[in-house]
Amino acid sequence: MIEEVDLDHAAERAQALMAGQVRGRVVVRI
Amino acid sequence: MFRALLLEKEPQFHASVQSLDESRLPDADVHVRVAYSTLNYKDGLAITNKSPVVRAWPMVAGIDGAGTVIASSHPHWKAGDSFVHNGWGVGETHWGCLAEQAKLKGDGLVKLPPAFTPRQAMAIGTAGYTAMLCVMALEQQGVKPGSGEVLVTGATGGVGSVAIAVLAKLGYQVVAATGKTSEEAYLKGLGAHSLMDRAELSAAGKPFQKERWAGVVDAVGSHTLANVLAQTRYGGAVAACGLAQGMDLPTTVMPFILRNVRLIGVDSVMAPLALRQQAWARLAQDLDIASWKA
């Protein structure tokens, strides 16, 4: 339930989060 | 130079990763290198500009961060210290942690508990730290393991999932309210004793209902919070920390004046440092991070 993305993909995952398309927590590797 | 997710308002809203000069960092007494941040719901609102979360422009997003101190003029922090940061308006009015570097106020930083890596701390994030504040609030109101069933609403969310894991580890009998019944295995894996369909709570209900809950962690608000108040047992307590269903609270005074129910508000953004330190220490002690798969 923990998804990891890098900084370059954070905005894209934020869009998905607001669209209800993210399951669990997202951590952003800086 | 450092890379950061910058939110700009002019000529139109735009979110992009940019290289910025360190001289642009805002004044604060602790200069940090961020290892991990996270995406909370509030970050989502800010990065997509769906709600007026950001109140100073341009803004570096990211309300949470964990990493290492580069330099500090604060007496409690020195280069090399590991930190965790939550809230305090960072990512809203002060440049945030979705960036390689940040300058933060030492008075608001918490030492990263040795039990957690920066990645694990950010998997917990503001949501998990808020869940711990809710559990502590119930404890302060005398809700104990063995008191009876404890309800967690919004169970698959960030607050709900950590609340279930912590309460179960402490020995509470936890009921998870969710609209995602397909997540039964996940919720029971966290420690939920049983599930409840959120539809049973989300519509307008009677002001006084059959007593069931010794305590409640509610991240939902609106009719759900009104219904759980109406179902809380005599002397029970409800910790309210969210508004996933809505910011309204269509209830009556009946649960308060006839059942001595306590409604406890829980804020994490401006919570005092001592309470934050206590919450993170309790997370290190009472959250089984390995089984939580962070």
Report domain extents, chain A.
1-30
User: What per-residue confidence (pLDDT) applies to B293?
Assistant: 62
Q: What are the structural domains of chain B?
A: 2-112 (3.90.180.10), 125-265 (3.40.50.720)
Hey, are the CB atoms on B5 and A10 less than 8 Å from each other?
yes
Question: For residue B22, is pLDDT > 80?
Answer: yes
Q: How far apart are CA B65 and CA A27, in angstroms?
A: 10
Q: Identify the weakest region by mean pLDDT among B84-98, B113-127, B279-293.
A: B279-293
User: What per-residue confidence (pLDDT) applies to A21?
Assistant: 84
Q: How many CB atoms lie within 10 A of CB B281?
A: 15
User: In the 8-state DSSP scheme, what is residue B129?
Assistant: H
User: What per-residue confidence (pLDDT) applies to B290?
Assistant: 78
Kindly tell me the sign of the dihedral angle through the C-alpha atoms of B74, B79, B85, B90. positive
Return the percentage of chain B with pLDDT > 90, whole number: 93
Question: For residue B292, is pLDDT > 80?
Answer: no
pTM of this structure = 0.94
User: What per-residue confidence (pLDDT) applies to A20?
Assistant: 81
Non-local (6+) Cβ contacts of B68 within 8 A are B32, B33, B35, B80, B81, B82, B83
Q: How far apart are CA B260 and CA B248, in angstroms?
A: 22
Question: For residue B229, is pLDDT > 80?
Answer: yes
Q: How far apart are CA B231 and CA B85, in angstroms?
A: 36
**Which of A5, A8, A17, A25 to mutate: most B Cβ within 10 Å?**
A25
Does residue B38 sit in helix, strand or coil?
Answer: strand
In this prediction, residues B96-114 reach a mean pLDDT of 98
Does residue B272 sit in helix, strand or coil?
Answer: coil
Nearest to B48 among A1, A18, A26 (CB): A18
CB B79 within 8 A of CB B50: no
Identify residues of A whose CB sits under 8 angstroms from chain B CBs: 1-2, 4, 7-8, 10-11, 13-15, 17-18, 22, 24-30
Q: What is the pLDDT of residues A1-30, one digit of tens each?
A: 789 999 999 999 999 998 888 878 899 999
- B155 in A contact zone (CB under 8 Å): no
Measuring CA to CA, how many Å separate B271 from each of B76, B129, B161, B265? 19, 11, 21, 12
Structure tokens, B162: 């950590």
Residue B217's Cα: distance from chain center in Å? 12
CB B148 within 8 A of CB B281: no
CB B131 within 8 A of CB B176: no
CB B84 within 8 A of CB B104: no
Return the percentage of chain B with pLDDT > 70, whole number: 99
Hey, are the CB atoms on A10 and B47 less than 8 Å from each other?
yes
Q: How many CB atoms lie within 10 A of CB B150?
A: 26
Q: What is the pLDDT of residues B167-195, one digit of tens each?
A: 999 999 999 999 988 889 999 999 999 99
Q: How far apart are CA B147 and CA B161, in angstroms?
A: 21
In this prediction, residues B111-115 reach a mean pLDDT of 97
Q: How many CB atoms lie within 10 A of CB B189?
A: 15
Give A9 to chain B, closest Cα distance, Å: 9
Rg (C-alpha) for chain B, rounded Å, is 20
In this prediction, residues B222-229 reach a mean pLDDT of 98
What is the average pLDDT value for chain B, to the nearest integer?
96
Nearest to A27 among B41, B45, B122 (CB): B122
Q: What is the pLDDT of residues B130-171, one digit of tens each?
A: 999 999 999 999 999 999 999 999 998 889 999 999 999 999
